[in-house]
């Protein structure tokens, strides 16, 4: 066999052994066999000095290339084996109790959100979801909010610098349209989620916060259903002494539109009689139509409120920014 042929054959068996090494020590042994002081490859290198001068360039080049291939395969296999060594050896029993207690706890916003979801589930609502990066159609147009409406002002809305003018949803109401288009009524959903507005952070505002949207569409739905549902949920969340007051208001996607004020001992402690807590109303026939539902057949109501506000009331928190600072001294209290 010529030297070139032997280089190729030593290279192939080196690659074979390195790639087949079952663990790190087998890999080290294979490395020694080929690249070590007396290794097969080292011997070939030595032979280079003994062959006729005119054959040396070709043989030298072949040796270099082979060595590079062997070395990169060595590195690759080493990384694979090192990664494998960090993984659990046997199957993991995920049902075993944790070794440490109290590694963390749920964020107050998560706690409140889950309580809200639980209260609505009892009444037959399911959780729906939609994208945070929305388009103008779902966030505004389909909800009857025309292009010259102040809510669309760039002062309020974060736009994304991309084709199609996407935006960060300013409310979870955008999901109403998505759900209505996806499944036929009857629909009973709530949508907890993050929303964005160009508010400067102060004690009660933050550029991102959370809302819960509710939507109920069926035959013959009335404002009475809306009041009953909202009252039942707020009593469950904030105590049986809760009183609610519904005031006329304006939203482009409901008719009539109402605002809900809320009162209980917690509110009085803040020195107020009533606190504005949610917007709601009967879904506007045009909105139903935009989403492909016949308003002659279906009617519905919708509401939206801020989760932070509920959590602040419930826990007596006066600065919204505490929710996002991740200060464990704050988080440990829940």
DSSP assignment string, 48-72: GGGS-GGGHHHHHHHHHHHHHHHHH
Least spacing, CB of residue 111 vs ligand DAH, in Å: 22
Least spacing, CB of residue 282 vs ligand DAH, in Å: 8
Q: How far apart are CA 237 and CA 239, in angstroms?
A: 6
Phi, psi (deg, nearest 5) at residue 260 = -105, 125
113 binds ligand DAH (CB under 6 A): no
291 binds ligand DAH (CB under 6 A): no
309 binds ligand DAH (CB under 6 A): no
Q: How far apart are CA 309 and CA 131, in angstroms?
A: 23
CA distances from 228 to 158, 222, 232, 299 (A): 35, 10, 6, 16
Residues 166-195 that bind ligand DAH (CB under 6 A): 171, 173
261 binds ligand DAH (CB under 6 A): no
Pick from 229, 254, 290, 299 the residue near ligand DAH by CB under 6 A.
254
34 binds ligand DAH (CB under 6 A): no
Stretch that binds ligand DAH, among 1-9, 100-108, 277-285, 318-326 (CB under 6 A): 277-285
Stretch that binds ligand DAH, among 83-91, 112-120, 202-210, 279-287 (CB under 6 A): 279-287
Largest CA distance in the chain: 103
230 binds ligand DAH (CB under 6 A): no
Cα–Cα nearest to 128, from 316, 5, 302, 268: 302
b/e sequence 169-207, b meaning 16+ C-beta within 10 Å: bbbbbbbbbbbbeeeebebbbbbbbebbbeeeeeeeebe
279 binds ligand DAH (CB under 6 A): yes
31 binds ligand DAH (CB under 6 A): no
108 binds ligand DAH (CB under 6 A): no
Q: How far apart are CA 36 and CA 14, in angstroms?
A: 12
Cα–Cα nearest to 260, from 299, 233, 295, 287: 233
Pick from 74, 302, 313, 320 the residue near ligand DAH by CB under 6 A.
302
Pick from 134, 213, 261, 308 the residue near ligand DAH by CB under 6 A.
213
What is the contact mask toward ligand DAH in residues 124 to 163, using x (rule: CB under 6 A)?
----------------------------------------
209 binds ligand DAH (CB under 6 A): no
Q: How far apart are CA 217 and CA 288, in angstroms?
A: 9
CA distances from 272 to 261, 268, 309 (A): 11, 5, 15
251 binds ligand DAH (CB under 6 A): yes
Least spacing, CB of residue 215 vs ligand DAH, in Å: 7
Chain residues that interact with ligand DAH, rule: CB under 6 A: 171, 173, 213, 251, 254, 279-281, 302-304
């Amino acid at each position: 066999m010529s030297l070139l042929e032997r280089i190729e054959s030593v290279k192939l068996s080196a690659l074979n052994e390195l790639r087949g090494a079952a663990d790190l020590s087998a890999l080290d042994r294979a490395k020694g066999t080929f690249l070590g002081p007396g290794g097969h490859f080292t011997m070939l290198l030595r032979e280079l000095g003994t062959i006729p001068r005119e054959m040396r360039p070709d043989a030298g080049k072949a040796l270099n290339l082979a060595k590079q291939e062997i070395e990169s395969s060595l590195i690759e296999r080493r990384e694979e084996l090192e990664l494998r060594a960090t993984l659990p050896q046997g199957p993991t029993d995920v049902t075993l109790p944790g070794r440490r207690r109290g590694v963390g706890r749920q964020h107050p916003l998560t706690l409140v959100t889950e309580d809200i979801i639980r209260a609505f589930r009892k009444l037959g609502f399911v959780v729906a979801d939609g994208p945070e990066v929305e388009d103008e159609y779902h966030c505004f147009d389909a909800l009857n909010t025309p292009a010259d409406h102040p809510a669309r002002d760039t002062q309020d809305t974060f736009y994304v610098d991309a084709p199609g003018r996407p935006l960060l949803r300013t409310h979870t109401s955008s999901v109403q349209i998505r759900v209505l288009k996806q499944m036929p009524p009857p629909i009973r959903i709530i949508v907890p989620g993050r929303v964005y507005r160009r508010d400067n952070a102060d004690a009660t505002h933050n550029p991102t916060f959370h809302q819960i949207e509710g939507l109920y569409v069926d035959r013959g739905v009335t404002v009475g259903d809306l009041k009953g549902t909202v009252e039942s949920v707020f009593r469950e969340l904030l105590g049986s002494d809760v009183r609610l007051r519904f005031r006329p208001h304006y939203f482009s996607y409901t008719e009539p539109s109402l605002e809900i004020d809320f009162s209980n001992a917690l509110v009085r402690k803040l020195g107020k009689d009533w606190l504005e807590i949610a917007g709601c109303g009967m879904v506007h026939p045009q909105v139903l139509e935009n989403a492909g539902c016949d308003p002659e057949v279906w009617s519905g109501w919708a509401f939206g409120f801020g989760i932070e506000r509920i959590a602040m009331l419930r826990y007596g928190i006066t600065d919204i920014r505490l929710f996002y600072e991740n200060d464990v001294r704050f988080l440990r209290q829940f």
